[in-house]
Structure 1
Amino acid sequence: MLIEQIRHATIIITLREYKVVVDPMFSPKGRLPSLRGTKLLRFKRTNPTVELPEDMEKRLNGVTHALITHTHFDHIDEPAIDYLKRHSIVVFCSEEDEEVLMKRGLKVIPLKNSQENFFFDGSIRPVPARHGWGWIGRAMGHGVGYFIAMPGEPTLYITGDTVLTDEVRRVITDLKPEWTVVAGGKAKLAVGKPLLMSEDELLEAVELSSGRVILNHMEAMDHCLIDRKILRELMRENKLENKAVIPNDGDVIECD
């Protein structure tokens, strides 16, 4: 299995002959609204804060499917929708997102929540995600992560945008994914608590994992408070640097 870190939450997973783009956000730098502070209130366009890798056309060559955790614009945007439609790429998503994505003209395979679904010649299980604690989490709406098991490949858990809930802990400790992708940017809007795991929650998620953890969702949107340097130092201070992988945009990780 190969995992390519593209930008923010966008990754490409290669599973034998299948190539799956997860949460595609393809907008050029500065085309999307700000999500932070006074810029949010003034509807400034500052996101994404970095460009996509220069060789995106090559990276997307051969993509067979897409996988969507939720429909916020930093996880599927207009350029991504156009790309998926132009290339007739089938999209896996949660039951809750089926209607909205079909209305956008996408070919959709909805996945039943909290149970195993067929995924090529393996299985995929949506896992509930909570996009923040308290009222802000409710306001952010639904979302899921995914636990993927494919014959001959390492098991993979993509948490999606979530804080560290008991459900997330159970997946990590009971299902023991060999690889986990965690949204690590500690995103926060102009009001309310952070929308993603805090530093303590990120440390706990890595500590609980029996496998290795890829931390992404950083340095591409202006509402993310943790950058790679901070997170690498945090993992090093807690002697977790051998379990935590913090890729730069464009990095390819071979997952054995």
Structure 2
Amino acid sequence: MQLHLLRNATLRLHYAGRTLLIDPMLGPVHTFRSLAGREENPTAPLPLPAEDAVRGLDGVIVSHLHPDHFDEVAARLLPRDLPLLCRSGDETFFTGQGFTQVTPLTGPGDWLGLSVQPTAGQHGTGPILDRMGEVTGFLLSAPDEPILYWAGDTILYPPVLDVLRDARPDVVVTHSGGAALMDTPIIMDAAQTLNVLRAAPAARVVATHLGALDHCFTTRQDLRAAADAAGIAPERLLIPADNETLTLTR
């Protein structure tokens, strides 16, 4: 498995002979509004041409419809006949956009020859949760590949711990930028990411969703410092830079 972080949550994933694009935010800097009053978003440039990000794909996965996970540039550039896997409930949006091979992730199944199943996510708490709407993560597996748990835009809450315990993933991708709205956390921060590592002691954690949005208050440096202070080995917590590719095996 090769995991190429483009920016924020946007990944190109090479897995079991397939090349997948996950949660594409492909626009240039400052193309949508500030979320914390600090700077328009995205705050970091895409590290390669957007056309290169969508080249040579076998499929795309979109966890939810917030603009930092599917933006106007992605909508414009992605081929309409590309297989697209989405959260159950979002399929009407994509068919309305002209995509012709849309699969809602309703339960465990086969997609492009890969075993995929949805996982629960909670994108905040209280009134903010109502505003943020529903999200999904997923488990991905294939022969001779690591079991991948991509948690998505979620805080750490009991259903995430259940997946870590029951699925025993080899690799966990967390969204660890400490994003918050009105002082309410909506994804994981450093402390919650370290608790993922404690809950899955045999897994490697890849922390993403860092350094590209103005409402993300946890930096890569913050996360690494917290891990070092907690005695977490660097090889267990991987914090890729934008445009970095990780090769991960079972």
**TM-score, scaled to structure 1:** 0.91
CA contact (8 A) 1:213 1:243 kept: yes
Amino acid at match of 2:192: E
Shift in Å at residue 60 of structure 1?
3.7
CA contact (8 A) 2:54 2:78 kept: no
| Range with bigger deviation, 192-201 or 126-135 | 192-201
Q: Which ranges of structure 1 fall in alignment gaps of 5 or more residues?
A: 40-44
In structure 2, the residue corresponding to 1:32 is in which secondary structure?
A: coil
Alignment of structure 1 residues 48-197 onto 2, 5 Å: 48-54=42-48, 56-85=50-79, 88-107=81-100, 108-112=102-106, 115-189=107-181, 191-197=182-188
CA contact (8 A) 1:136 1:192 kept: no
Shift in Å at residue 79 of structure 1?
0.5
RMSD: 1.5
Which 4+ residue blocks in structure 1 deviate beyond 6 angstroms?
A: none
CA contact (8 A) 1:81 1:106 kept: no
Shift in Å at residue 94 of structure 1?
1.7
Shift in Å at residue 49 of structure 1?
0.7
**Per-residue CA shift, 1:26-56, capped at 9, x if unaligned?**
110111111113x6xxxxx711111111355
Matched length: 246
Distance 1:121 1:196 in 2: 30
CA contact (8 A) 2:26 2:50 kept: no
Distance 2:96 2:114 in 1: 28
Q: Is it true that 1:21 corresponds to 2:12 in the alignment?
A: no
Shift in Å at residue 145 of structure 1?
0.2
Return closer, same or farther for 1:12/1:27 CA change in 2, 3 Å cut-off. Answer: same
Correspondence for 2:195: 204
Return closer, same or farther for 1:79/1:55 CA change in 2, 3 Å cut-off. Answer: closer
Amino acid at match of 1:206: L
In structure 2, the residue corresponding to 1:146 is in which secondary structure?
A: strand
Correspondence for 2:33: 33
Q: Is it true that 1:252 corresponds to 2:249 in the alignment?
A: no
Distance 2:35 2:95 in 1: 26
Distance 1:160 1:252 in 2: 19
Distance 1:170 1:196 in 2: 17
